[in-house]
Chains A and B, each alone.
Chain A
Amino acid sequence: MSLLQPAAVKVRELPVWLRHLLFGIVFIIAWQLYVSLSGASALLIASPIATVQALFTDIGNGQLISATLISLQNLAIGMAIGIIVGLILASLSAFSRFGRDLLTLLTSVFSPLPGIAILPLTMLWFGLSPAAIIFVVVYGSIWPISANTETGFRTIGATTRMVALNLGLSRVQTVRDVFLPAALPHILSGLRLAWAFGWRTVVGAEIVFGVAGSNGGLGWYINNARYFLNPPAIFAGLVVISLLGILLDTFFQRVEQQTIVKWGMKQAH
């Protein structure tokens, strides 16, 4: 009993990243074993080794790099516009009854509609251009950002509002120096949701585009790999998409660390 216990305790005591790494290694080994031993067709599934090879090949020839950059660019532009529009809508909503009604109405009608669903529409409007994809990303970002920011503004405490009034701040000062930082936990939640939806939308839209024949982005890359019967490249694309997702999420975590965690504002609501 006493021989087993120390070992069991030790595994649980390992740092988080190490536990996750061990789990990942076990998973990859299992994946490799399945591919090697099950005799599944090479056209259906690629092994970890083949995937890594495809990664090296397509990073080397620049395909993956340019695809990644295009996807990120679409996401960045779409989100930037979405953030501006979302913040404006939320500010209007915070300061006027009409703004509040407008936002509630728009959100309830449009937010259940996934961005990708309006892609056929934007393709009609903008053709097979980046604008069609970017529009869809904008659309997908606006609702989480405006709704969360509006909640953030609405739940600002009465005392904070009174302090802003007491100091005699102008409207601009109040929104910029008090409301925005006070609402930051909610705004960051909104941004996190927006980027998550946006990323999924970008990849999905690029796949649709890929089917239609236009090139660019990671979605196009994996669809293209399918077309050329290149499963390792599909897997390589999926790995990159996933890694970028993790990276961006980590970026947001860092932002949270430097702001709302440092200020003791996390979990306030």
Chain B
Amino acid sequence: MGQQDIEPIVRADHIYLDYAQGSIRGDRISAIVEDASFTIQRGEKFVIIGPSGCGKTTLLKAIGGFLQPLRGELLLKGQPIKKPGPDRAFVFQDFEQLFAWRTVIGNIVYALQAAKRVPKNEAIEKARHYLELVQVAAAADKYPHQLSGGMKQRAALARALALEPDILLMDEPFGALDAITRNQLQLELNEIWQRTGVTIVLVTHSIQEAVFLGTRVMVMSSSPAQIREIVDTSQAEEFGSQQFDALSKHLRSQLIHHETSPERIAQLSAVE
């Protein structure tokens, strides 16, 4: 209730996103993301979910500063986002995101030195601290190629956290992992969030992940690429609880129902 009084860390106001210029159809711009408006509060876990091609990754990249909105305003702490930076640290799905030529701890130390000009000794200490936090300290002196997928993602998370960013941007970070490791990391991410209070924006395909991890979940659709709904999932603490199942069901209906709605079917038949 008091949250409405606090200035959100990210504000999107009728933004349109595309890598090219989008295309004009009649008097509408057709783009990957169309007319999106939302806010993200400090300290929350904001999850973006939607089918492939709905623009959720594009949205994340826009917050990350990799592209500018074609229209509308995208503000970070009240200012338009100009370019990428360590204040919005990314964790990608790709296992290759760590530099192969540096050890695990070397990756974090480099990031701290290069991005935040932290002196070496302090950087090493910080790196160790965050490696402990993600439970990968034992592999500090190994090279990324020697690590399992789960450990690589943990290390990437440590690197992002070590930058002590305003926002942690996560693009399907657990998507390439097996289900068991995935669940494990979801639990650990939650714990890390509770300990550090970092704002998290996470993109996922998985309904279960969205309900469990998110404090709020933004459901997106494709064709047209719009926000369908923003759902409060902060009450769904445990897998299998009533709230969890109810929210999962609701999200599922939002995501799957939409794609076979009567309007959609009419639209598809019209495109002949």
Name A residues whose Cβ lies closer than 8 Å to a Cβ of B.
Answer: 157, 159-160, 162-163, 165-169, 173, 177-178, 181-182, 184, 259, 262-265
Contact = CB atoms under 8 A, between A and B. Distances in A.
B114 A159 contact: no
Contact of A160 (B85, B96, B145, B163): B96
Interface string B124-160: 0000000000000000000111100000000000000
A184 B101 contact: yes
B94 A167 contact: no
B92 A265 contact: no
A162 B92 contact: yes
Nearest 4 interchain pairs by C-beta? A264-B145, A159-B94, A181-B101, A167-B115
A173 B96 contact: no
Contacts of B96: 157, 159-160
Interface string B55-92: 00000000011100000000000000001111011101
A178 B110 CA distance: 11
Interface centre among B83, B101, B114 (most CB of A within 10 A): B101
Contact of A264 (B64, B92, B115, B144): B144
Nearest to A265: B100
Nearest to B88: A166
A166 B100 contact: no
Interface centre among A168, A173, A262, A264 (most CB of B within 10 A): A168
A177 B88 CA distance: 21
B146 A177 contact: no
What's the dominant secondary structure at chain A's contact region? Answer: helix
Nearest to A158: B94
A194 to B, nearest CB: 22
Contacts of B115: 167-169
Interface of B: 64-66, 83-86, 88-90, 92, 94, 96-97, 99-101, 110-111, 114-115, 143-146, 163
A160 B95 CA distance: 10
Contact of A173 (B83, B84, B114): B114
Contacts of A263: 100-101, 143, 145
Nearest to B89: A166
B143 A167 contact: no
A182 B85 CA distance: 21
A237 B96 CA distance: 48
11 contacts: A159-B94, A165-B66, A165-B83, A167-B86, A167-B163, A178-B99, A181-B101, A184-B101, A263-B101, A264-B144, A265-B100
Contacts of A160: 96-97, 99
A178 B107 CA distance: 11
B101 to A, nearest CB: 4
A157 B94 contact: yes
A39 to B, nearest CB: 60
B85 A168 contact: yes
Nearest to B98: A163
Contacts of B143: 262-264
Contacts of B83: 165
Contacts of A157: 94, 96
